[in-house]
A and B are shown apart, each in its own frame.
Chain A
Amino acid sequence: DIQMTQSPSSLSASVGDRVTITCQASQDISNYLNWYQQKPGKAPKLLIYDASNLETGVPSRFSGSGSGTDFTFTISSLQPEDIATYYCQQYDNVTLTFGGGTKVEIK
């Protein structure tokens, strides 16, 4: 199975900061990489699909890039409402795998 290594596991940043999270796949997954936001007690919410496509209704401060094995998720200007845990998720033709998550907090 393909493993997803997500880093960092947590980060603390100030409002307005640029925040970057990375996800590395153990094998080439083309652009089959998605990003979710999960707030406490809630189901995850899709933000980015196919590595770089912004889901409808998601603010443009969220973005994604990458292909192959290395992917990046960016919040261009952190807002208080962005406090959450973020997960990457891959698909390899048979199974799906999530990364370990990144907890984003306000400094």
Chain B
Amino acid sequence: QVTLKESGPALVKPTQTLTLTCTFSGFSLTTSGMRVSWIRQPPGKALEWLAHIDWDDDKFYSTSLKTRLTISKDTSKNQVVLTMTNMDPVDTATYYCARIPRNSYYFDFWGQGTLVTVSS
């Protein structure tokens, strides 16, 4: 079955770079049309899409955050990595990774999320 799990630091300091890893199973990012995305949700607030990476290594970023984000994949490890530079307290949020199935643009499977707090 399809599973995704996020991992990374629970606490980062302002100005630091955040690196999050999504480890997935039950599907392959080498399959044509498959995508994995990152979404975040500040406490008590709405969901915000951050980025996604396609099976063919195309990458797409949120317009407002694209200068700070980098997404990459390691298909041999079934992992997708997101880095976000220059972290600020407003970036405190639960970060989710999610699968976008072939040739579609909805999220059908989600990880459990990981809470990242930005504080000195």
Contacts and interface: CB of A to CB of B under 8 A. Distances in A.
Given A49-B104, A49-B106, A87 B49 contact: no
Interface of A: 1, 32, 34, 36, 38, 43-46, 49-50, 55, 87, 89, 91, 94-101
Given A1-B63, A32-B105, A98 B112 contact: no
Contact of B107 (A1, A44, A50, A94): A44
Considering residues A50, A96, A101, which has the most beta carbons from chain B within 10 angstroms of its beta carbon? A96
B47 interface: yes
Contacts of A97: 49
Contact of A96 (B49, B108, B111): B49
Contacts, number: 56
Given A32-B105, A43-B113, A95 B60 contact: yes
Given A94-B60, A95-B62, A95-B63, A46 B106 contact: yes
B108 A87 contact: no
Contacts of B49: 89, 95-98
B106 A44 contact: no
A48 to B, nearest CB: 9
Contacts of B112: 43
B24 interface: no
A99 B48 CA distance: 9
A98 B46 contact: yes
Nearest to B61: A95
Nearest to A87: B47
Nearest to B97: A43
B70 interface: no
A91 B49 CA distance: 11
A85 to B, nearest CB: 9
Interface string B77-100: 000000000000000000010100
Contact of A98 (B47, B63, B64, B108): B47
Given A100-B46, A101-B46, A44 B110 contact: yes
Nearest to A45: B110
B105 A91 contact: yes
Contacts of A55: 108
